[in-house]
Amino acid sequence: MNRLLGVALGILTAIGGFLDAGDLVTNAVVGSRFGLSLAWVVGLGIVGICVFAHMSGKVAAVSGRATFEVIRERLGPRAAGLNLVASLAVTVLTLIAEVGGIALALQLASSVDHRLWVPVAALAVWLVLWRVKFKVMENVTGLLGLTLIGFAVAVFLLGPDWGELAAGLAPSVPANESTTTYWYYAVALFGAAMTPYEVFFFSSGGVEEKWTVRDLATSRLNVLIGFPLGGFLSVAIAACAAIVLLPRGIAVDSMAQLVLPVAQAGGMLLVAVVIVGIAAATFGAALETALSTGYTLAQYLGWSWGKFRRPAHAARFHLSMIVALVVAVAVLATNVDPVAVTEYSVVFSAVALPLTYLPILVVANDPEYMGEHTNGRALNAVGSVYLVVLTVVALAAVPLMIVTRAGS
């Protein structure tokens, strides 16, 4: 049981990264418009996030320090400051969407307008951050998020033609879609899979749990179970939409449509299970992004940080998270669409990817911090290939968003 709970950090990080508010809808949008022809992007993202999360977890376990602390010391305040600005902007944008996503999930459960749930959602996130211990937070939220397995159950209950569904995995552009729109959603899915805050949260979580060199196996277990599981559930959501909505020409544009295939497959009981998962996933993502704003700011500026410290002993760390939540509520009060915010955030996160992952690769190869645990040749080779991919994605993201009008 202890070994099972030991992977809760990876589950929480992966579900928050792969299945936050916008990603839930984006996967359904992709399934309803492109079938499973973009599933290869999820696979590419799983490998990439596993590689760099492994590096960041290893840095935390070996050095006893969070990745961002080491990045600032290793690269200096200017280079780390550029990384801070880029990742913080994307993280706050994502936090706005996650608070709105919790409200949308509560609207699904209660039929009460999501705008009335926004302050309640923000308050609940703050209370957990303020009062609940890190281990309890990750275990409860991560394990509740596993109820999203209901989407995979729905795929089997729908009884699709498995040969036809498997054939849809081949990369191809549907006749009614443009090539640029196809690649726009490829970039969005890739950016969602490798959102910068994931590695900072994962590394800081390792410090919260007091990982040492003896915990390297736990770190690897978190990575190898958590992130592939998040990717699997992403593909299951797309498959549900591909089976039910694509043949009917229904393109998903709201979270309510997300559960239509589930309702057809398993009725209201399965819908209730999935709604619990949606609420847990968006709540977990809100916790991750709020914590990541505090982690990155505190680690860069040298403040005391961490949930293992009492709030009075890490006041600026907690204050930064409160400010981020207030900003989220203020933006959502303007009636902005939370799903649209996240869809933009994953594209802009793609722009920030090289700035996030290059420093991690540098630090993971520095013997001053890593000793005998620096990267091997194979890991460096894969990491270097991914840096080229990340750079191409970063350069293509904004032009594709402009040309396709954000995939519309």
Three state DSSP letters for 66-113: CHHHHHHHHHCHHHHHHHHHHHHHHHHHHHHHHHHHHHHHHHHHHCCC
Look at residues 356, 80, 12 and name the one whose alpha carbon lies nearest to residue 191.
356
User: Could you tell me what percentage of the chain is helix, strand and coil, using 3-state DSSP and rounding each to the nearest 5?
Assistant: 85, 0, 15
H/E segment holding residue 318: helix 315-332
pLDDT at res. 11: 66
User: Whole-model pTM above 0.85?
Assistant: yes
**In angstroms, what is the C-alpha Rg of the chain?**
20
C-alpha 213/C-alpha 163 separation (Å) is 46
pLDDT at res. 8: 58
Domain containing residue 256: CATH number: 1.20.1740.10
Return the DSSP state at 337: -
pLDDT at res. 202: 85
Cα separation values, 58 from 182, 195, 308, 370, Å: 36, 19, 20, 8
pLDDT at res. 21: 74
pLDDT at res. 135: 80
H/E segment holding residue 192: helix 179-193
Q: Which domain holds residue 108?
A: 2-404
Please report, in tens digits, the pLDDT of each residue of the chain (408 residues total): 444 545 556 566 666 566 777 678 888 889 999 999 999 999 999 999 999 989 998 999 998 888 888 888 888 888 888 888 888 888 898 899 889 989 998 998 888 888 899 999 999 999 999 989 888 887 788 788 888 999 999 999 999 999 999 999 999 998 888 999 999 999 988 888 888 888 888 888 888 888 888 888 888 888 888 888 888 999 999 999 999 999 988 888 778 888 999 999 999 999 999 999 998 889 988 999 999 999 999 999 989 999 888 888 999 999 999 999 999 999 999 988 877 787 777 788 888 888 888 888 988 999 988 888 999 999 999 999 999 999 999 999 989 999 998 877
Q: Decide: 397 and 351 in contact? Cβ < 8 Å.
A: yes
Number of domains in the chain: 1
pLDDT at res. 2: 47
Cα separation values, 351 from 1, 320, 407, Å: 40, 24, 17
